[in-house]
Amino acid sequence: MAFERDLANAVELIELAEAEDEASLVDEAVTSLRDIQDKASRAELEALLSGEADGADCYLEVNSGAGGTESQDWTEMLARMYERWAGGRGFKCELLERSEGEGAGIKSATLLVKGENAYGWMKTESGVHRLVRISPFDSNKRRHTSFASVWVYPVVDDKIEIDIQEKDCRIDTFRASGAGGQHVNKTDSAVRITHLPTGIVVACQSERSQHRNRETAWNMLRARLYEAELQKREAAAQAIESQKTEIGWGRQIRSYVLQPYQMVKDLRTGVTTSDTQGVLDGDLDAFMAAALAAKVNGLEAVVEDID
């Protein structure tokens, strides 16, 4: 294997450097070993992305919790955080739906993230995210706690058949909110589809054409139903409730504390950092990698118990 060959070469270089007492060769060998370690770590992470839909693009929804302006501002911060993470990896990120908050922030937003293994990387971000900070909206400068939920599901291609009966759906049209030009705001171009048997709701308002918004909304619904099926399979394997149930408002996966100290902590894996600004600017790889490893290892342990 390439790793074994590179490692053997590095070891030989160190032995040669020691024999000839060449400090420069030692430095070169150490650099080589660090490169090997980095490559091995990346390969290990990529090996975790072996799920049925991990290679797919994905939709990401953010929704504000109770708390009005505070939670809506936090929801907008989360959406921006994921946009920056996606941009940092070279992924494309499109805004499909955005519901403006009352005074500040957003009530909800849906993003389409396109890139290799987008769903595989982002799937562990589903859950409730908690923010603690001194409120910029409180004249008394009191500390507030805000909640927002994130839900990630894969884009489904034409090879995967999802049976949706139109009679099981309610389709509503409405005027798009926010910026977008006179045509967007003065016609009922936005589309919302409610799948009655499951209660799943999707909406799209990114296009000026109602027809195109409707087509995108149908694709989103197919993706949501497919994700629900994936979660049922995982629930059966793990003998626990599906992930959709787990991300109810009582289910927190990560805390972002800005006051009275600086810390972001993943409550599932224990990964912690004091670089809160870096995280809010999209530095999420450490959290995602740890959650992926925990998810894979946890599933393997359950399978072993079943066997």
Q: Is the peptide bond before 260 cis (omega within 30 degrees of 0)?
A: yes
* pLDDT score at 100: 92
Distance CA 139, CA 142 (A): 8
- List CB contacts of 158: < 8 A, sequence separation 6 or more: none
Q: Does 148 score more than 70 pLDDT? A: yes
Q: Give the SS3 label for residue 110.
A: strand
pLDDT, tens digit (0-9, with 9 covering 90-100), for 23-81? 777 677 777 777 777 677 667 667 778 777 888 899 999 999 877 899 999 999 999 99
Q: Does 302 score more than 60 pLDDT? A: no
pLDDT, tens digit (0-9, with 9 covering 90-100), for 101-121? 888 899 999 999 999 999 999
Per the DSSP assignment, residues forming a β-bridge with 134 are: 143
Domains for the chain: give ranges and CATH numbers.
2-48 (no CATH), 58-306 (3.30.70.1660)
| DSSP per-residue string spanning 123-182 | GGG-EEEEEEEE-TT-TT--EEEEEEEEEEEEPP-TTS-----GGGEEEEEEPPPSSS-H
Note the Cα 9 to chain centre separation in Å: 39
Strand extents, DSSP E, 88-126: 92-100, 106-114
pLDDT, tens digit (0-9, with 9 covering 90-100), for 255-285? 999 988 999 999 999 999 999 999 999 999 9
Tokens of 22: 């060449």
Tokens of 251: 């289910």
Of 287, 302, 265, nearest to 124 by C-alpha is 287
Q: What is the mean pLDDT of the chain?
A: 82
Banded pLDDT at 233 (limits 50, 70, 90): low
- Going 241 to 242 to 248 to 254, the CA torsion angle's sign is positive
Q: What is the mean pLDDT of residues 228-254?
A: 60
Distance CA 151, CA 159 (A): 23
Q: Give the SS3 label for residue 250.
A: coil
Q: What is the mean pLDDT of residues 166-176?
A: 89
Instruction: Look at the block and give the residue holding tokens 């494309």.
Output: 92
pLDDT, tens digit (0-9, with 9 covering 90-100), for 177-222? 665 444 445 577 899 999 999 999 999 998 888 889 999 999 899 8
Distance CA 35, CA 173 (A): 54
